[in-house]
Amino acid sequence: METVSTNRAHGGVQGVYRHASAATGTDMTFSVYVPPHAEGARLPVVWYLSGLTCTHANVTEKGEFRALCAELGLIFVAPDTSPRGEGVADDPDGAYDFGLGAGFYVDATQAPFAANYRMWSYVTDELPALIAAEFPADMDRQSIMGHSMGGHGALTIGLSFPDRFKAVSAFAPIVASSQVPWGQKALGGYLGDDKAAWRKHDAVALIEDGARVPALLVDQGAADTFLEKELRPDLLRAACDAAGIPLTLTLREGYDHSYYFISTFMADHLRWHADRLKAGSKA
């Protein structure tokens, strides 16, 4: 693991790191904020998955999470959204919603993307092992959140690993990827035409198929231009109601899809995660 940069912040350290990934076959860059802590302490970990076109840098620079992470004693990890580098396949038309910056947190099975686009394995297996080895992380106390495409990733990963993550939340997530254009394009391109294979990467479908978590927290901007076509929080509400999953879904008037929205409500999410990451908490 190579240290790209470190900066002191709120008594802790904001770092950016790079390593050679076996999962993606490329170098991968990620950021980690480690709050001030006693020597030998092991701290709970909050994973943050970013959205289309983003890297680790978007939330690291705009998310306004460090002060509260320092107060609450939370490690904050932000991976990249796709493999990158020479020879990595991209959308042939250069579209923003597929290819580079748009890995959708799946393991691609279709050429040419299968060679590198293994973000599911990277985020659920390889990077957690690296975090456990290199940082003062208590891997028995993990939670996950994300934004937009990353909200899709947080929901699907959280629902798939309910014993690993004590809390799952999202900002403006893609909740039903099989039913919206962004998701249909990505899942078709990465996984092929077999829509049965898409269901493990669709939060609503996972809930319909029996996946359960104790609770979900979702914030959505009412002025988000992607709300009705791509995000469809109404579908998540219906699925949670049918499954008996407590969902706190708040429509925020006047807020859009940007980091102005995310940073405004980041503290609410971090406190919600911290409550559930307390030692012994299963709620």
What DSSP line would sit under 21-63, residue for residue? -TTTSSEEEEEEEE----TT--EEEEEEE--TT--HHHHHHHS
Distances (CA, A) of 206 to 45, 132, 152, 190, 212: 24, 28, 12, 19, 8
**Active-site pick, 152, 257, 269, 273:** 257
For residue 1, give the amino acid letter: M
Tell me how far CA of residue 37 lies from CA of 9, 42, 135, 164, 198, in angstroms.
Answer: 13, 9, 12, 23, 41
CA angle 82, 84, 88 (to 5 degrees): 105
Strand, coil or helix: 202: coil
**Residue 177: active-site member:** no
Burial class (CB in 10 A: 0-12, 13-18, 19+), 272: middle
Distances (CA, A) of 38 to 11, 34, 95, 126, 186: 12, 12, 47, 27, 44
Question: Which of 80, 107, 202, 224 is labelled catalytic?
Answer: 224
Which of the following is catalytic: 148, 169, 201, 202? 148
Conformation bin of residue 192: beta by default, left when phi > 0, alpha when psi is -120 to 50: left
The answer to whether 56 touches 150, Cβ cutoff 8 Å, is no
Q: Clarify whether 257 is annotated catalytic.
A: yes
Residue 224 is among the residues annotated as catalytic for this protein: yes
C-alpha–C-alpha distance, residues 55 and 204, integer Å: 26
Q: Which residues are catalytic?
A: 148, 224, 257
